Amino acid sequence: MAEIIVRNKDKKETEAVKKVSETAKKAEPAAKKAAETTVKKAETAKKPQTIVTPNKPTGGSTIGLRIGAVVLWVLALAFEILAILAITKDFTIRFTNNGNTNLWIILIGCIVLDLACCILAAQLWKKANHIHPMSEKRGKFLFYLWNELGVVMVCICFLPLIILLLKNKKLDGKMKTIVTIVAAAAMLIAGFVSADPHPISAEQQEAAEQQVTTDVYWTQFGHKYHVYDDCGAIKNSNTLYKGPVLEAIESGRTAMCSFCANRAEKDGMNLSGLNVEGRAAEENEDAPASEAELPINTQAVPTVTGGN
Ligand SMILES: [Zn+2]
């Protein structure tokens, strides 16, 4: 409700202000009703928002996904080795009268197939990590390496070829330049697509499963899930997906939306240990610890006065 602060002592003005506030008060219920009807109208008008509940089983074995990823990475590596052999061994000349054209096809073809295998492998790997995430207890380095294995493999499947291309003196200048650029571009694309910017740990997944007991919502794109279907961040989305939180995580929505998190906290939801958008995982655990350490640190200051 709007508050009116009267600083002027003039009675006439205060009376005028009173009148204004009274008319405003009278107008308020009407305005409320109007607002309510517009909200209702908007709700009925916005019905084309369809909520999809994908009915697939969550969890299950990830061995198939991981084997698929490894097989594809081995294939990617094979295409890189083939390209390297084509450059260093001149074996293309054996296949045709016009060896040079063949070298173009083999090099570009190998790079494209290398790229495709790397991208596909990383998607399978990321999917497996979202179904069965790694525990944070194994250490930050291993956790990072496991989740970003796709990027590591992209480097292995492209860097040696690019270095060889740059060092090579047998290829003609035009071919060397173009193939190097294509390989570098392929490496950047593959690296970008293979990275997992929103990994989740086994601990965070477990916390989500235990603490987010109602169905959650997510959109076609993005990496967040929402606790409330009327969250401002998703109210304009045409299609909403609805399901248990594990399903959202499996689909790559690994973090809870920050708006929903604030609201859920007020509604009494326990968010400790959860992966929430914009909140560091250790934030909650570290804050009291560092505060507790402060007095200890001040005590620990050595008093080196009065030596001799
Ligand atoms: Zn939300």
Measure 266 CA to ligand 1 centroid, in angstroms.
14
* pLDDT beyond 70 at 57: no
3-state secondary structure of 10: coil
Measure 278 CA to ligand 1 centroid, in angstroms.
13
Confidence of residue 29 (pLDDT cuts 50, 70, 90): low
Measure 228 CA to ligand 1 centroid, in angstroms.
6
Higher pLDDT residue, 18 or 306?
18
Cβ neighbours for 24, distance < 8 A, ≥ 6 positions apart: 2
Q: What pLDDT does 44 receive?
A: 45
Q: What pLDDT does 99 receive?
A: 56
- Looking at every residue in the chain, the average pLDDT score rounds to 78
Measure 233 CA to ligand 1 centroid, in angstroms.
6
Q: What pLDDT does 239 receive?
A: 87
Digit-coded pLDDT (tens) for 128-144: 999 999 998 999 999 99
- Residue 122: C-alpha distances to residues 40, 108, 144, 280 (Å): 45, 21, 14, 25
Measure 226 CA to ligand 1 centroid, in angstroms.
4
Measure 218 CA to ligand 1 centroid, in angstroms.
9
Measure 130 CA to ligand 1 centroid, in angstroms.
20
Measure 50 CA to ligand 1 centroid, in angstroms.
17
Q: What pLDDT does 39 receive?
A: 44
Measure 51 CA to ligand 1 centroid, in angstroms.
15
Digit-coded pLDDT (tens) for 213-232: 999 999 988 889 999 989 99
Range of lowest pLDDT (33-37, 93-97, 167-171, 260-264)? 33-37
Higher pLDDT residue, 127 or 97?
127
129, burial (CB in 10 Å: exposed 0-12, middle 13-18, buried 19+): buried
Share of the chain above pLDDT 90, in %: 50
Measure 246 CA to ligand 1 centroid, in angstroms.
17
Mean pLDDT score, 232-243: 88
Higher pLDDT residue, 78 or 57?
78
Task: Report the distance separating Cα 58 and Cα 250, nearest Å.
Answer: 8
Measure 135 CA to ligand 1 centroid, in angstroms.
26
Ligand 1 ion local residues (Cβ < 5 A): 226, 231, 233, 257, 259-260
Measure 260 CA to ligand 1 centroid, in angstroms.
4
Q: What pLDDT does 93 receive?
A: 53
Share of the chain above pLDDT 70, in %: 69
- Per DSSP, the chain holds a count of helices (H) and strands (E) of 10, 5
Measure 253 CA to ligand 1 centroid, in angstroms.
12
Measure 162 CA to ligand 1 centroid, in angstroms.
44
Mean pLDDT score, 198-220: 92
Q: What pLDDT does 115 receive?
A: 97
Measure 1 CA to ligand 1 centroid, in angstroms.
27
* pLDDT beyond 90 at 163: yes
Q: What string of H, E and C letters represents the secondary structure of 146-184? A: HHCHHHHHHHHHHHHHHHHHHHCCCCCHHHHHHHHHHHH
Mean pLDDT score, 266-272: 90
Residue pair 256/227 in contact by the 8 Å Cβ criterion: yes
Mean pLDDT score, 67-91: 91
